[in-house]
Every structure is written in structure tokens, then in C-alpha cells.
Structure 1
């Protein structure tokens, strides 16, 4: 895709832009002529994004679980965009915590829903008046775990499955205003989420009762080995950024964007093979 015309206003807000997919989207869109309001948690993350990047990157401190901060950021974006308006929002902020559902603290589920679902809804609600005024686009970062969830990722998969429903409903609700809603469904991507989720999982296991290790020692060990291998098989976040770019710029964007061979194959398998056969394949792949 060629760069967008500098004469056409292109303003976008991206949450979770510090690293990984969000950072890749920020740099790619800025290089294509978008002014990117990059939601980061720390000032140094914003500076790192701007360093060596092309185009306009405007870091904004944004924790999607902080409602007052969301309101403040949206006011700042509105003031800076002025009559140009906001043409897109990329809801990318997310966390992943792993562990057996039987012993996983409810707080771990609540935290994932607070960030991955409620934070996304809060940001979307806050920017929708601007998106409607410019007939802009809404992009949600889901996951292949949203339609085919792996064991020990029930909490994360549940949040991403929720985004499947949100995308379907919101897409129809906003149709009267010509607002497109796209759901990105990445598979394994080379991002810090793997190391962060692995470290968080280790801490969760440490705090669990002895029965957890007794009952789940073998499958948890297999999961850890698999997670260690995933980054070597994962694709770069720029692949996801290209899908996000298409969702924002294409005349007729797709409603869903599976990204990566594992996501593409998974989206097909979940429709054509029985659940028990799929369960067997997952167990075989994971070594459990």
C-alpha cells in the first residue's frame, strides 16, 4: 500500500503502544503519514517510540483501567486534532496470565477483563463521538485464542472471545454512520507478552496451594516448554501492523484479520473438525 496523502487528515489513537504490536503499528502508521497518538504507561516508552521513527508520534500517558486518565487523554487528542478530527482508534492494550483454571486466583481473571475488555470498551466509548464525526474506523486487537483457546489460558481466551462478540455487535450498531469495525486475530507474535505472561505465570504458581503442583505438574511443565519454543516460531509484530494498516486505510476493510499461519489454520479447523478431535490435536501439540 502506498503512503497516505499528506493533504488528507489522518489521526489515530493507539492503546498499548509501548512495545510489541502497538509499537509496530505506531511506527508503521506514522511512516505512512498518520499522526499517531501513542498510548504508553511511562514517559520513557514514548521517547523510545519517537527515537528514529518517521512521521508524527505524539505519546500520551494512558492506562486503560484509569477512567479519569482516558477522559483526559481524549480531551487532549480532541484539542490537538481540532477540526481534522480523529479517523481511527486501535484498541491494542492487553495482558495475558496463564494457569490452571481450578486454582487461578479470581483476581487474575478480573485483572485481564479490566484491561482487555473493560478498558477497551471505556476507550471506545470515549472516542466514539470523534470517530462518528469523521466517519472513522475502530480496530480491536483480539487473538486466535478468542476462537480456539489453549489449556491454561482460559482467562486470556475468555477476554479475547468477548472481543469477538463485541466486534460483531458493534459493527452492526455503528453501520448507520458508516463506521467500520475490524477485529485483528493474531497467532503467535514475537512480542514481550510471552516473557511477561511466563513470568506472571511463575509467580501465580508459586502462590498456589500444594494441590496445584500435585495435580498439574506434568501439563504445566509441558506448557512451560511450549512457551519457551513459541518465540522461535512466532512472526514479527510488523505482520500485525500491516493488517491494522489495511483495516484503517482500505476502502472495504475486512471484518476479521487472522494473522499468522497458526491463526489462519485455526480459524479453518475450528469450523470443520469436531471438538474432541481438536482437543486431541492440541494435547498432542502441547505434549499433554
Structure 2
């Protein structure tokens, strides 16, 4: 896929992976339409990336606003074709599932899963998903996580959203076969982004009278440490660029500081063995 006069839509670009992907793609000559929720972020990013960046002001859970953004992109393309849609916008909700407020659960799925469907329905036609006869249909890149294959205590909402995104991506890729629009998953491990920094906001106080207070504190400390040692977001941006431009892309790219450990834990250790290891590390089982 050539990149000259090409444009890409990325959701959730104010910080983290979305920002890193914008930086990489702009640096490689693509025009990025990036969604943010605040005008201040739109102005900041416009100042940083200049004419190669067009902000889109919407929340992925607002269907009307997302569709308005798609109309804005269609009008602004001016002869460029839309090379890709990167569904990146997301949040991470943490807490023991037995005590988690249902509204928090719903918010997690609304942003991370339903938001992907909303954005895909709005922008996929610009990629050639309505049988426009394009010789070079665009691609959809969905940002999952290593947590889309492995579940962890207190991250059930996030894991559920990413497991769901993996299945959605596989099903959609096959649905779009008639149009040649590919769907590719990029699954990062730990990345040095604000989503990890927010682990410090995980409050164990509401669970003080449960068995989960101390394990939740351990998880918070672990997430903060992992985040600080995580990959720079530009590294994920490079994988996204590969997914968008490789002549024969893989269906899934895992990008992790320790990809071998991730592979080995999934392929060598049984689920019961992993249960015991995780349980002891977090203090959910004796011996931690």
C-alpha cells in the first residue's frame, strides 16, 4: 500500500498509544484525522503536528458525533483516499468483579467495545466497505492488548472488553472479505501511557471489608511498576504503521517488552498453574 496522499483516522489520540501512532504516521507522510474529546487537546495536537493533523471532536460513545466526524473526514479528504481506521480509544476499569458497580462495568464495555462498533460503522464506508469498487481498499486496525488473551484478577471489565474485541475483529475480518477491507489486531503489552499511571487511582478503600483489599493494593503497585518499564507509545505506533502498510499483514501483532515470556506463559503453563502463580503473587492464595 502506498502512503502518498493517504489519510488515516485514529480514535483517542490525546495521549498514549493514539498520540504515539499519530506521531509515527505523520512522520511517515500520512495525514491523520485524530479524535479527542476536548478542544484544548485538539488545539495542542494541531500545534504539535501542524497541517498533517486534523482534529475530530467526539466521544466514541456518542453515535451522532462520530457520524458527524465521518462526514467531516469525507468532506476534507479532497482526493485522498482513507487508508485506515485505527480503533484505539479506550479506558481501563479495575476492581473485584463481585463488588464492582454495574455502571462502571457498562462504561467499560460501552467505550472499549461498543465504541469500536460505532466508529467502524461510521468510517468503514470510506475505506471501501460498501462495495465502491476501490482497487486499494483501506484497513481497520483494532487496538487490543495482551489482556485480550489472558485474564487477570481485578481487571475483568478490561479483559472482557479486549477478549470481545478479539472476537469482533475476527468476525468482522471475514464479513468484509467481499470488499477486501482487512481487519488487523495490534495487541500491546505494557506501554508507558497514562492508562497505566491511573493505576494509582485504584482505591482499595471500598473493599476494605473484603478479602480483596490487600491483593488490590498489590495489583496497583504492580501496574505502576510495569507502566514505568513499559514500551514508549511510538513503538506501538510502528506496529500500527506495519499493520496498515505491509503487503501481506499478519492478522495479529503482539508488541510487548517481554513477548517471549507472554508466549511461554500462554503455551507452556496450564491455566491451573497460572491460577496458582497469580494467586500467590497477589495474595489471593497462601504463600504470596
Q: What is the TM-score when the length of structure 1 is the normalising length?
A: 0.90
1:213 is aligned to 209
The residue correspondences of 1:143-154 to structure 2 (distance < 5 A) are 143-154=145-156
The residue correspondences of 1:181-220 to structure 2 (distance < 5 A) are 181-199=183-201, 201-202=202-203, 205-206=204-205, 208=206, 213-220=209-216
- Aligned in 2, Cα 1:262/1:247: closer, same or farther, shift over 3 Å? same
1:45 is aligned to 41
- Return the alpha-carbon distance in structure 2 between the equivalents of residues 241 and 284 of structure 1: 35
Higher helix share: 1
Preserved CA contact (<8 Å) 1:97 1:108: yes
1:79 is aligned to 75
Equivalent residue of 1:36, what SS? Answer: strand
The residue correspondences of 1:103-118 to structure 2 (distance < 5 A) are 103-118=99-114
- Return the alpha-carbon distance in structure 2 between the equivalents of residues 224 and 118 of structure 1: 27
- Return the alpha-carbon distance in structure 1 between the equivalents of residues 58 and 15 of structure 2: 14
1:258 is aligned to 254
Preserved CA contact (<8 Å) 1:74 1:127: yes
Shift of residue 31 of structure 1?
1.3
- Return the alpha-carbon distance in structure 1 between the equivalents of residues 80 and 53 of structure 2: 16
- Paired residues in the alignment total 278
Q: Which runs of 5+ in 2 are unaligned?
A: none
Shift of residue 128 of structure 1?
1.3
Q: Which runs of 5+ in 1 are unaligned?
A: none
CA root-mean-square deviation: 2.0
Match of 2:141 among 125, 139, 162: 139
- Return the alpha-carbon distance in structure 1 between the equivalents of residues 8 and 199 of structure 2: 28
Q: What is the TM-score when the length of structure 2 is the normalising length?
A: 0.90
Equivalent residue of 1:159, what SS? Answer: helix
- Aligned in 2, Cα 1:125/1:171: closer, same or farther, shift over 3 Å? same
Shift of residue 89 of structure 1?
0.4
